A and B are shown apart, each in its own frame.
Chain A
């Protein structure tokens, strides 16, 4: 039952989804250099994310995983190198054109007070609109489909500030879905959520791939959830990719020691068969003494 690094399945449109199938896109970082102020966070990183199904970027705090995602999503201008979307340098594509192919959801976004769910999701239609064509029944349909997909349709007229954290995150994902893109980039979509809601959001992410064939790249903090829901893991340390591949190949005790500096044991998840990390803190006393942490 190990999730395999899948090629995007073309996806059968369910009644909830727009009638057309989403285009597959290629996304690649070439010798990418990213930073803030005087500090260079990512230096010369190359990574091909094309057709990878669900990819999770993991790594310790400050390793540059969110910075990389912002660079990939053209939210941060590269210092050098380029992000290539469908063969073209993303910095040279009109930003609205990019927004029709790729949706990016930053970490913990904030909505202004009083904004209703449907108003927020409707703003996702911007890349498909023009000053002479503001709102069409087609837009309406896509917004409703996006809300149905995340089970938020019944809350459409409620203000965002009345919703729970998990519901709010589903609305933000609906807004990204309303952009109707084949590529979806998510920065820590489970931040501030309890475990049940983390699982709920990640199962939604999984459906977005398996039902509609979206390519999804997300930064994820929780290694076990990453291993369970992503087809491919990319492990980063100090702004560089250390290793990448299927969860079972990447999530090893050696990698955890090298990348996170964390002594840990990795066992097979008894439910899904995915690798499961058991951290060994310095005070952990394993039941079988010969397995003690070094």
Chain B
């Protein structure tokens, strides 16, 4: 009954829903700045942002909470949009942004940099992670496209699975040899917004923006591909181009997010299903809805993680799995997940 109502009615109110999602994201960001292990009164938060005077509270807000919130918005948006893109291109509701080997590529490059160069510090290995993510995706695209039929969702998914398995083996070997790599990897794999180097933000931002622009350009192509490749081609879409733009967008968005915040690809699996229930199958709405929901959900999980184990905190990747898992099961059981 509910699904009928959603189908018939709610899609007509998409502009209003969009506004609500923007407000929800803003609220989540606000909560992320206000709430933490240390109690900072709202007035002090305001002062810290707009009139800092170097108090301890100012430092907490400016150097910890603001970057953390910014990373949450960046990674959440990126993974939400990347998830919608990867599910749209593969027409597979179980696809997540890590499908193209991006996550394992980042993990491998990061671990390798620690092992060979003794790189320490989040700020440095983000770069290795991002480069590794791009390289793995290019490798998957080349492998998946080398067959006679070119790059199809199936060959890309298979090549992605093969590259992921291969890199996973190498990572497992390397972390056994190097204790420091092991520690960093374990922390990275859980996924966290805290302790990131704020300097990485302005450098990752252009890549995420480029990914969002490519995703926007991809929306109409994805709408056509959802009708099958033959229909898309007959409507005058260039399939190869649409696939390449999609892969580039997924790589930039996922690469930046996982390099900065760790293996949070699960977010990219669940968010598009929530967004689709609100937007219907039109990617021009689904992509922005997924981005906003991704940011909201990631920030909400992060804030919850700060509250449940005071004075310590639970990392966002763990919170996401604990909250998102049952939620996703409920979604599937109530059949609100839509066939692609």
A contact residues vs B (CB 8 Å cutoff): 37, 70, 73-75, 95-100, 103-106, 109-116, 119-120, 123-124, 126-127, 131, 157, 159, 179
CA distance A183 to B235 in the complex (A): 13
B47 at the interface (CB under 8 A from A): no
* Residues B227 and A110 in contact, CB atoms below 8 Å apart: yes
* Residues B339 and A112 in contact, CB atoms below 8 Å apart: yes
Q: Which of A105, A110, A113, A126 contacts B237 (CB 8 A)?
A: A126
* Residues A70 and B235 in contact, CB atoms below 8 Å apart: no
CA distance A99 to B264 in the complex (A): 41
* Residues B217 and A113 in contact, CB atoms below 8 Å apart: no
Q: Number of residues in B with C-beta < 8 Å to the partner?
A: 26
Q: Which of A103, A110, A159 contacts B234 (CB 8 A)?
A: A103
Provide a sorted-by-A list of 25 A–B residue pairs whose CB atoms are within 8 angstroms: A70-B230, A73-B234, A95-B238, A98-B236, A99-B235, A99-B236, A105-B234, A109-B230, A109-B231, A111-B227, A112-B281, A112-B338, A112-B340, A113-B281, A114-B7, A114-B280, A115-B281, A115-B282, A119-B282, A123-B224, A123-B227, A127-B235, A131-B217, A159-B8, A179-B235
CA distance A75 to B223 in the complex (A): 18
Q: Which of B220, B228, B276 contacts A106 (CB 8 A)?
A: B228
B contact residues vs A (CB 8 Å cutoff): 7-8, 11, 148, 217, 220, 223-224, 226-228, 230-231, 233-238, 276, 280-282, 338-340
CB distance from A131 to the nearest CB of B (A): 7
Set of chain B residues within 8 Å of A127, measured between Cβ atoms: 235-236
Set of chain B residues within 8 Å of A73, measured between Cβ atoms: 234
CA distance A97 to B234 in the complex (A): 11
Set of chain A residues within 8 Å of B280, measured between Cβ atoms: 114-116, 119
Set of chain A residues within 8 Å of B228, measured between Cβ atoms: 106, 109-110
CA distance A110 to B281 in the complex (A): 13
Tell me the nearest residue of chain B to A98, going by C-beta. B236
Q: Which of A70, A99, A112, A179 contacts B226 (CB 8 A)?
A: A112
* Residues A109 and B227 in contact, CB atoms below 8 Å apart: yes
The answer to whether A123 and B223 touch (CB under 8 A), given A95-B236, A100-B236, A131-B217, is: yes
* Residues A95 and B237 in contact, CB atoms below 8 Å apart: yes
* Residues A99 and B234 in contact, CB atoms below 8 Å apart: yes
Set of chain B residues within 8 Å of A115, measured between Cβ atoms: 226, 280-282
Q: Which of A109, A126, A157 contacts B220 (CB 8 A)?
A: A126
Residue among B148, B223, B340 having the largest count of chain A Cβ atoms under 10 Å: B223
Residue among A73, A96, A100, A113 having the largest count of chain B Cβ atoms under 10 Å: A113
Q: Which of B11, B235, B281 contacts A124 (CB 8 A)?
A: B235
Set of chain A residues within 8 Å of B227, measured between Cβ atoms: 109-112, 120, 123
The answer to whether A113 and B233 touch (CB under 8 A), given A95-B238, A126-B220, is: no
* Residues B236 and A106 in contact, CB atoms below 8 Å apart: no
CB distance from A99 to the nearest CB of B (A): 3
CB distance from B334 to the nearest CB of A (A): 15
Set of chain A residues within 8 Å of B237, measured between Cβ atoms: 95, 126
CA distance A111 to B228 in the complex (A): 8
CA distance A179 to B233 in the complex (A): 13
Set of chain A residues within 8 Å of B276, measured between Cβ atoms: 114
CA distance A139 to B243 in the complex (A): 27
Residue among B8, B234, B236 having the largest count of chain A Cβ atoms under 10 Å: B234
CB distance from A218 to the nearest CB of B (A): 14
* Residues B236 and A113 in contact, CB atoms below 8 Å apart: no
The answer to whether A114 and B281 touch (CB under 8 A), given A99-B234, A106-B234, is: yes
Further pairs besides A95-B236, A112-B281, A116-B11: 12, Cβ < 8 Å: A37-B148, A95-B238, A100-B236, A104-B230, A112-B226, A112-B340, A113-B338, A114-B11, A114-B338, A119-B281, A120-B227, A123-B227
* Residues A126 and B235 in contact, CB atoms below 8 Å apart: yes
- List the 7 closest pairs (A to B, CB-CB), nearest first: A99-B236, A96-B236, A104-B234, A106-B230, A127-B236, A112-B281, A113-B339
Set of chain B residues within 8 Å of A159, measured between Cβ atoms: 7-8
Residue among A95, A103, A124, A131 having the largest count of chain B Cβ atoms under 10 Å: A95
CA distance A75 to B232 in the complex (A): 9
CA distance A235 to B303 in the complex (A): 69
Set of chain B residues within 8 Å of A103, measured between Cβ atoms: 234
* Residues A106 and B231 in contact, CB atoms below 8 Å apart: yes
Set of chain A residues within 8 Å of B235, measured between Cβ atoms: 99, 123-124, 126-127, 179
Set of chain B residues within 8 Å of A74, measured between Cβ atoms: 233
CB distance from B148 to the nearest CB of A (A): 7
Set of chain B residues within 8 Å of A131, measured between Cβ atoms: 217
